[in-house]
Chain A
Amino acid sequence: GENVEQHPSTLSVQEGDSAVIKCTYSDSASNYFPWYKQELGKRPQLIIDIRSNVGEKKDQRIAVTLNKTAKHFSLHITETQPEDSAVYFCGGSNRDDKIIFGKGTRLHILP
């Protein structure tokens, strides 16, 4: 089955700097890769996703890149703001309709 590894587990960046979170997956049949953000005490919410037929997708300050050959994908947040502080989860979904998540990255935005 699918296995998703996520790094780093904790990331601290100065406000205004960029943050990058990286994930790898094991199942070459996986074709959908979402990113969820979970603020403290809240439910996870989708912030961006990418399909396997696309190499990059951007939404304002957030972008995701996918390298199918290497089986890794990354989340990029530019011009970080205090409200970006949260836990971020990457996920992979294959034809079995299971979304398997990584262990999460706790992002701290430092003033």
Chain B
Amino acid sequence: DIQMTQSPSSLSASVGDRVTITCRASQSISSYLNWYQQKPGKAPKLLIYAASSLQSGVPSRFSGSGSGTDFTLTISSLQPEDFATYYCQQSYSTPPDPFGPGTKVDIK
């Protein structure tokens, strides 16, 4: 099975900061990597699919990059509404066991 890891597990940042979250797969998954944002008490929300494609309606300050085993989610200028937990998810293998452990972004 493909294992997903994320780093860091948590980070503290200020409004306006550039934030980078890393996701790593235990084997190559090409570009089959999605990113979700989850706020407390809410369902996850898709941000990025296929490693770098921005989901419709998602602000352009979110971007994704990478292929193979190493991927990055970048928030170019952190906004107050971006404080949340972020999960990567691989869609390469089925059944997927897909999610990374999450990265919590909170206020410094």
A and B form one complex? no
Q: Which residues of B are interface residues toward A (Cβ below 8 A)?
A: none
